[in-house]
Structure formats: structure tokens, C-alpha cells
Amino acid sequence: MRKLNRLLTVIAATSATLVSFTSAAAEVNIYSARKEALIKPVLEQFTEKTGIEVNLLTGKADALLARLGSEGENTPADLFLTVDAGALYRAVEADAFQPLNSDVVKSAVPEHFRSKDNLWFGLSLRARPIFYSPDRVDPEQLESYLSLADEQWNERICIRSSNNLYNQSLVAALLDHHGAEKTEAWAEDFVSNFARKPVGGDRDQIKGVAYGVCDVAIANTYYFGHMLNSDDADEREAAQKVKIFWPAQDAQGTHVNVSGIGITKHAKNIDEAQKLIEFLVSEESQKWYAQANYEYPVRDGVEWSETLQQWGEFKQDDISMDVLGENNGEAVRLMNRAGWR
């Protein structure tokens, strides 16, 4: 009986140790508005290097933000990642973040690519230039976003709906640069130049140019990169019929936006969350973004992928990303008044 008791004691002690080890296993939980395929590989690299497990939940930005709000202090989320400065601003307004005071992150991410209160930090950069058909458009005809309001572009422009956050952020930037009166006048003439009612995503606008529905379009560069390197021959063929024009190079520069991340207000694994953000802004991770996602690194000095290099360097608009969120409401109202649907 004494041997049996000793055996039970050893088993109990061993079990307690295992339970303790399991509960102490390092992990970090992310709510992400990025598709899993566009973020999971770099998260797996982080786990491989650190041993910290990453639990990923993906969904629409607004739905994830609403979930954070309803969960409150009970949320398992340590990090919220989303794909537009406007969405990040909404998260700030919802009091979803806490500040991150990491010298590693602040030294890697330029000031205009993070919130002024260090509540979120940009991870990758996407540009929103003009795409055109070289068969039907002389690039000498192109100049800036404002120039697309000229009569020469009547019924020649494809673009997404005013519901699209990328377009809202573009108009928010134009408001900051040109003021409400000039931007609204531009929007009215710009809308009158649409070749069709706004429909579809950015790829559809690029295909519209390729197939002659329109002659110019506005879209994000990383969609173009994915099309050029797609396994779908039709997508590759469409993309090869289109070229990029970098607008406003003699003025503020081409509009850019960020995907970004912040530590949630009620995060339980703060140290692990900080380590992950520091990893995501490292040179290694930033290079992966450029290679795999056809996005630009936010960190200076990181080599661009071959695809990005082929498009050439360009002047970026260095507007604060906070402004894109602050001007969002005014931008949406202006777009609606202009008839941009």
C-alpha cells in the first residue's frame, strides 16, 4: 500500500508540473483583418525563433473591432491588426489600444507611419497610384489625382465605391492638402468622368483598364503585384496590359497607406505582444512583406522585391496617417454629395 501511495504521489506531482508548464507556455493572441495567407507565414517564423505560440483569428476589421468592444476586459486578444489608417483610427476612437513604448519599434517605424500617441504602428506600406493603358493613354497626359477631373478623362475612369476605405483615405488626404472647397469641386468633376458605376475590388479596376472598359484606374499596388505573379494566366495577362503612373510627383507625392498593429487595451500577454511587434518591424520581416505581399516596407533601408523595383522609385506623400482617420467622416460626406456611390 505504501508503494502504491508513493506512486500516486509521484504521478500527482508530475501531473501538477505538466499542468503548470502548459499554463505557463508563452503565447500571444491576434485579431487580424489581414487574410491568413498574408500574415500567417511570418507569424510561424516568429514562433520558430522565439517559441511563443501565436493564435490567429481573422475577420473583417469592423466586426473584429466590435468583438473587442463586446468582450471588454474578457477579450483574449492581445493585438489588433488591420489594413488601413482609417480603420486604425476607428480602433483608437473605440479606446481599443494601449500605448507601446518600445525604442526598438519607434526607431524602426517613421513617425508619420505610426499614431502620435504610439497606440499603433505601421507594418507595411501600400501605394495607391494611377494605372493606365499604354495603348490608349500617353503618360504625358497624366499629372495628379486632381488632373483626373479634366474633361479629357470623360467616361474613361474606373474606381471602387465610396464605401471603400482606401478611397476614403485618399480623399481624406486630398482634403488635408487642398481644403474642402477645392476637393469637393474636384470630386464632382471626377465622378462625372467615371466610365461605369463603381463596382468590384481593386483587381476589377485594373482589369477594366486591361479590357478597355476604361483607360485609367486608381488601385493599390499590392493587388497589381499579386496579379503580375498570379497562378491564373488570365490575371497575369490582364496585368501585363497595364502600367503604373506615380501621381503628384511635383507636389505632395503619391498617396500611401499602411497596415498596422497595436496592443489591445486589455491584453494579457503584453511582453509577448511587444516581442511580436518588434519582430514584425525587423529587417527580416519587413523584407518578407516586400517579397511575399508586394507591399513596401515601412522601415527605411530594407531591400524591395524584384517586382517593386521594376516599378521604380517614387515620391511618397508623407502626410501623418492620423489625418486619414481624422478626416474620414468629412471625406465620406463629401464623396456622397458628389454622387460617388
Phi-psi region of 34 (alpha: psi -120 to 50; beta: other; left: phi over 0): beta
pLDDT at residue 39, rounded to an integer: 92
> What 3-state DSSP class applies to 318?
coil
- Report whether 169 contacts 324 (CB < 8 A): yes
The pLDDT of residue 25? 66
Contact (CB, 8 A) for 72 and 96: no
Nearest-10 crossing angle of helices 202-210, 221-228: 60
* Cα–Cα distance measured from residue 117 to residue 101, given in angstroms and rounded to the nearest whole number: 10
| Cα–Cα distance for residue pair 182/186, rounded to 1 Å | 6
The annotated binding site for Fe cation is made up of 222-223
Q: Among candidates 204, 206, 220, which has minimal Cα distance to 294?
A: 220
Return the residue matching grid coordinates 503612373: 245
Half-sphere exposure of 311 (CA within 13 A, CB side): 26
The pLDDT of residue 38: 86
What residues form the annotated binding site?
222-223
What whole-number distance in Å separates Cα of residue 280 and Cα of residue 28?
Answer: 14
Domains of the chain: 2-124+257-303 (3.40.190.10), 127-255+317-337 (3.40.190.10)
pLDDT single digits (tens) 119-152: 999 999 999 999 999 999 999 999 999 999 999 9
* pLDDT at residue number 89: 95
161 CB burial (10 A radius; 0-12, 13-18, 19+): middle
| pLDDT score at 20 | 34
Residues whose CB falls within 8 Å of the CB of residue 239, separated by 6 or more in sequence, listed in order: 206, 210, 224, 227, 228, 230
Residues of the chain with pLDDT under 50: 1-24
Residues 6+ apart with CB under 8 A from 91: 65, 68, 80, 82, 97, 120, 262
The DSSP 8-state label assigned to residue 315 in this structure reads P
* pLDDT at residue 1, rounded to an integer: 46
Predicted pLDDT of residue 15: 38
The answer to whether the beta carbons of residues 75 and 98 sit under 8 Å apart is no
Number of Cβ atoms within 10 Å of the Cβ of 225? 22
